[in-house]
Structure 1
């Protein structure tokens, strides 16, 4: 086991599924804890300060959507990987809008779970090497290295994926990206994702930045960041 890998909290009421998730995450070097319902999981986040949470939507006591909303409302930005059933598209989109960092749709392979956990933790940690350029546009200041976003000097809370998407567009200012390109270049894969997820994250960024948002929609193609914004 790699002692440098941290704690992952699994919030899942199906014991068999939770045990399988534990097995594969621990094989990859993580420590794990399991909570069997929403309230227990919410309390465990406070007590254990995990590096990431694997959160099922259909939990007893407090569903995953409410869990994620309350977590963000109290200013806790622990990375959350939302787990939904195939028919729970509305919950999946709502969870992302409320601040979940990524999602998995059941059934999924244990290997995919480990890869997604690795990805959300890698994003949360920031760039692995070098000093990324700080991006400024009017009142907007995005510092990928420090993982901060400010408007008129006031910090704006971003999830790791929101920040990576905004930084990527600003780094390639003026270039137009399709949704599939953004999924490959920011998320790391487009094979098992709905391209509309990009729209959700762009909408969240715009809602947080208001008129300071630099993201422009290119109809029929995708998105770009410009000096003029929207």
Structure 2
């Protein structure tokens, strides 16, 4: 899975950037570096990048704006945000940015490697030869192309959003706890706040629900988690 995967580290503090690069290269990743958001965007536009590790506090345009630009132009790219403890997690994972995961500084480099691998697993799930198409009107998932449609219009999803919606639609009526979703989508090696599930669900609702403030398809099971409505 790691062989040939290209990671871009966008971090203005050189010693942190080099430290991240060394640990990723030890695992066999090809690592590119950028000290500014502008340079990071240029690299993504000229080279194939699978995952971007993106610091929020950057000179020039900040990580939020970089994430927004990358999501618009490369919706299926993996993005992991690096943040200080003082940052609001809701803002980091906010609807307008669309990052897949986040890590709070200071962090264990081994954990970052695990997060990158977990994200790549979500992005590289095997293409399935049988039953490629799942239809749950008005939605359709093409598991081979990893595309999601509502009423024949493609809905752009991040790799994490795609994994969650696929889990829901393949299991209509089943209640999933936040921990179950974390284990299935992020992996058992995930260490972090379960709020990441809630924020991704909010983003999904903003994209697929007719009225996100009064969701019909993704039901909240209070005190537990979420369920896809079984029609």
Higher helix share: 1
**Is structure 2 residue 15 aligned with structure 1 residue 21?**
no
**Is structure 2 residue 96 aligned with structure 1 residue 93?**
no
Secondary structure of the corresponding residue to residue 177 of structure 1: strand
Deviates more, 1:34-43 or 1:134-143: 134-143
Q: Name 2:226's counterpart in structure 1.
A: 223
1:17: how far off? 0.7
Q: Name 1:79's counterpart in structure 2.
A: 78
Secondary structure of the corresponding residue to residue 217 of structure 1: strand
Secondary structure of the corresponding residue to residue 33 of structure 2: strand
> Which consecutive residues of structure 2, in runs of 5 or more, have no partner in the other structure?
none
For residues 31 and 75 of structure 1, what CA distance do their matches in structure 2 show? Answer: 19
Query: Structure 1 residues 213, 14: closer, same or farther in 2, change over 3 A?
Result: farther
**Cα deviation code 1:117-171 (max 9, x no counterpart):** 1121221123366646633221100223321101111111001110101111222
For residues 198 and 158 of structure 2, what CA distance do their matches in structure 1 show? Answer: 15
In the superposition, the TM-score normalised over structure 1's length comes to: 0.89
Secondary structure of the corresponding residue to residue 60 of structure 1: coil
In the superposition, the TM-score normalised over structure 2's length comes to: 0.89
Number of equivalences = 226
Secondary structure of the corresponding residue to residue 93 of structure 2: helix
Q: Name 2:217's counterpart in structure 1.
A: 214
1:226: how far off? 1.9
Root-mean-square deviation (Å): 2.2
For residues 188 and 2 of structure 2, what CA distance do their matches in structure 1 show? Answer: 28
For residues 192 and 132 of structure 1, what CA distance do their matches in structure 2 show? Answer: 33
Secondary structure of the corresponding residue to residue 119 of structure 2: helix
Conservation of the 8 A alpha-carbon contact between 1:132 and 1:145: no
1:176: how far off? 0.7
